[in-house]
Structure formats: C-alpha cells, structure tokens
Amino acid sequence: MLSILLPTDFSENAMNAIKYALEFFKYQHTEFYFMHAYQNEFYNHKDLKSREVFGDVLMTVRNESQANLENLLQEVKDISHNPRYTYHTISANNNLVEEAQLTAIAKNIDLIVMGTKGVSNDRDIEFGSQTLAVLKYVKCPVLAIPALYSNTQPKHILFPTNYLVPYKRRELKLLSVLAKSYRSSIDVLYVSNSEQLSIRQEDNKVFLALTLQENKVNFLHESSDNVASTIKNYIKEKNIDVITMVNTQHSFLETLLFPSTIDAVSLGLQIPLLAMQNITR
C-alpha cells in the first residue's frame, strides 16, 4: 500500500494536484493524508494585532483549518469512490516544510503530491516558493503538478541522470510501480560530451537497470555541455509526460531548480516533476 501526503492551502492549484493524485493512483491501494499547515496564516491574520487576542485568533484559524479539511474530505469522497483508497486529515499549527517532514517520518510517507504553485499563482514563476522549499528540504519524494495539468496516464517518462548518484532502491521501486501502472516507457538520459563512464557510473547504471527491470527502459546518451537546454529540447521533441530526477547536492535537479535564488527556475517545466530525494528510510 502506498502512503501519499497531499499538502493543501485550499487553492485551485492544490485541488488540481489532489484530483490528479486521485486519478493517477486509481490502480493502487493508497492511504491519502490531506495536510494543512496554518502557522503562516495565523501570524498573517488581520485580527492578530496584539498578544491579548493571540489565543482567540489561534482558535479561529485552527477551527477554519479543520472545517476546510472536512469540506475537502467530503469533496474528495464525492469525486472518488475508489474502494482502494483510505483518507486522513492533518491540521497543524506549523510551517509547511516542518510539518511535511514530521508527517513523512511518522506516517512512513512514500510520496508527497502537490501543485507547483499555491494560492498566489504567480504567472512569472514556474514553481512557488513553498513547493521549492518542500523539494529542497523535505526528505521524501515529491510529485509536483503544474496548474491545470490533467494528463494522468503518462506513457513517456524522462529520467535524466549523470549516473553519479547511488540511487535508493525504495525510490526507484516507486518509479517502477508508477510506470508499470500505465505501461510507461522510461528514457534514462545521460547528457555529456563524453560517452565513456567511470566505474562508479557503470555500477550505478547497472543498479538502475536491475531495479527497473520490470519496466521498459531506454538508456540514451546526448552529447552536450548544456544539460538544461538538452533536457528541455528532449521533453518537447519526444512528447515527455513526466520528468523524474534525483534531488541531491550538485545534481541536475538542483542546478535546474536552484541556479541562484530560491524562486528562480531555468527549465520552465509544463509537465509533472517527480523528484526523488535519494534517502534511506
């Protein structure tokens, strides 16, 4: 059974990610945890003008959070009658990143699914600051869904890698399960001016192939020194439905998502991103 965390700020983008998850995982026995972390909403509340009203405002925000989660849960049940699904709600006076991290550990979460943007929905950025913070700091795989994206039957998955990361079996198995559900092919793309691999790279490639042996996997090489541009062109030319990358220091994903500042994104993704965090759990 999969355990999936769905953070929400009750925005349209968050709801779109929830609907995507409900459809995408319809073949899997899944426990969904709908989580609202309301600490920022509390401190930014218009009525929090002095410490004298601290408790009253906190109670108001907490009650609103719980009520909104109950309404969300009812909407979810109306949307999906899947007998494979189990639903839970979490309302927490905490920030999103810390609560997501605590929940991922406590509930042994396999995957976090969330929108690439939140309630602000800034058109000038591809990823909101909250999503980027989760991608960067929460030790759990994340599936980030662009606003209004609705293709829940991916046939072509791109996995760019330099083969330098010692992949974690649990996270590769997650990718394998998701790909098998829709008989998706996985293109493992190595972008480098040299096709020659080191012993470390060869060993990691073999491990990757063995772990994904139940999937259709294509191992490919593109000669280039511009990783971002090569990936972007490949996505467009090959009609890629989902891109997956390992998120670790000095990885492709770190370079693409965090080139200089937390809200700068160079890839311009319009498809879901599955970020594996390369952790042992």
What pLDDT does 182 receive? Answer: 93
Secondary-structure percent of the chain, ordered helix, strand, coil, rounded to 5 = 40, 20, 40
What pLDDT does 109 receive? Answer: 96
Give the tens place of pLDDT for each residue, 23-79.
999 999 999 999 999 998 888 888 777 787 888 888 999 999 999 999 999 999 999
Looking at the DSSP assignment, which residues form a beta bridge with residue 219? 188
Give the tens place of pLDDT for each residue, 188-203.
999 999 989 999 999 9
CB distance 220 to 191 below 8 Å: no
Domains belonging to the chain, first-starting first, are 2-145 (3.40.50.620), 156-276 (3.40.50.620)
Measure the CA dihedral 193/199/203/204, to 10°: -40
Give the tens place of pLDDT for each residue, 225-275.
888 889 889 999 999 999 998 876 555 566 665 544 333 344 667 899 999
